[in-house]
């Protein structure tokens, strides 16, 4: 059978996957704190070159495995680079400058008889507000945790200010002005490869994740925008589409060749 058919088909699958990831990035270009995703792939010549240069094993006359001339589809990765800040003027809109994540007590929305579960998630989305009970929550109603893992409860009738360390103090004039109320919990991780995305902009640690002290500073009155560059994503979309079409034309060329081989040459 012609190997070019399989080579072109793996190329189409790879480009389709890249377009899917890019489309998700575009859809979340306006999502606060969103981190764009990308994908990796390896060509046959690259995999072969690594294998030829591998000196970790003594030379043995053996097969290298199944030969595949197509593209080796890799993994999806997340770009954790910081997005730009935009000012909102709202005290409880906060953004992190540097590495780190806000601590959130996430409660799932049970469906079809599922049990309600609560777990700690992490996010860069600092769109916080006070609910009717004075509890600091996210825009989805999940609780923001302090440095001790507890809910942050404030008097909704008072004004507050938040410093660079995430300390919430009373800003209303009076005897209590400047009194510390709570500190927003911020956590960082040694290796972000041990984080998994949960929804649009929440993250959950997996086995092997190690927490470290966060060096990020908290900016009150600002939100971190998505790090998706729309213009660059559009350029990449054109490139991926062209690559997909090229592989498609290769398959069409092979199809025409096989058609002639079967229907014309087969008659001789």
Interval 172-186 mean pLDDT: 91
Of 4-8, 108-112, 165-169, which range is least confident?
108-112
Does residue 189 carry a pLDDT above 60?
A: yes
Same domain, 248 and 182: no
Q: What domain range is 121 assigned to?
A: 85-224
Same domain, 118 and 249: no
Structure-model confidence comparison of residues 159 and 64, the more confident one: 159
Measured over all CA atoms, what is the biggest interatomic distance in the chain, rounded to whole angstroms?
Answer: 103
Same domain, 104 and 204: yes
Dump pLDDT digits (tens) for 210-232.
999 899 999 999 999 999 999 99
pLDDT at 61 (0 to 100) = 47
Same domain, 106 and 206: yes
The confidence band for 95, taking pLDDT boundaries of 50, 70 and 90, is very high
Dump pLDDT digits (tens) for 30-71.
999 999 998 887 666 666 665 565 565 555 444 455 555 677
Dump pLDDT digits (tens) for 136-154.
999 999 999 999 999 999 9
Interval 153-172 mean pLDDT: 94
- The 10 Å Cβ neighbour count of residue 139 is 10
Same domain, 263 and 187: no
pLDDT at 63 (0 to 100) = 46
Same domain, 16 and 112: no
Total domains, the chain:
2
Does residue 92 carry a pLDDT above 90?
A: yes
- pLDDT above 90 covers a percentage of the chain that reads 59
pLDDT at 49 (0 to 100) = 61
């Amino acid at each position: 059978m012609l190997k070019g058919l399989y080579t072109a088909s793996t190329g189409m699958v790879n480009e389709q996957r890249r377009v899917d990831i890019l489309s998700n990035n575009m859809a979340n270009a306006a999502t606060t704190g969103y981190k764009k995703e990308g994908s990796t792939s390896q060509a046959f010549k690259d995999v072969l070159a690594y294998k030829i240069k591998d000196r970790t094993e003594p030379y043995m006359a053996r097969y290298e495995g199944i030969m595949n001339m197509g593209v080796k589809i890799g993994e999806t990765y997340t770009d954790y680079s910081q997005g730009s800040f935009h000012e909102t003027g709202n005290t409880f809109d906060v953004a992190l400058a540097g590495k780190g994540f806000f601590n959130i007590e996430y409660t799932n929305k049970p469906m079809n008889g599922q049990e309600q579960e609560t777990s700690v998630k992490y996010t860069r989305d600092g769109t916080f507000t006070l609910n009717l009970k004075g509890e600091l929550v996210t825009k989805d109603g999940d609780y923001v945790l302090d440095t001790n893992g507890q809910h942050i409860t404030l008097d909704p009738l008072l004004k507050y200010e938040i410093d660079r360390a995430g300390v919430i103090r009373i800003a209303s004039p009076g005897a209590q002005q400047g009194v510390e109320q709570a500190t927003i919990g911020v956590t960082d991780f040694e290796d972000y490869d041990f984080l998994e995305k949960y929804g649009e902009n929440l993250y959950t640690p997996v086995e092997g994740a190690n927490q470290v002290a966060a060096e990020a500073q908290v900016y009150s009155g600002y939100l971190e925008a998505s790090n998706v560059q729309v213009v660059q994503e559009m350029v990449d979309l054109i490139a991926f589409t062209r690559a997909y079409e090229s592989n498609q034309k290769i398959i069409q060329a092979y199809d025409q060749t096989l058609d002639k081989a079967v229907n014309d040459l087969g008659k001789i």
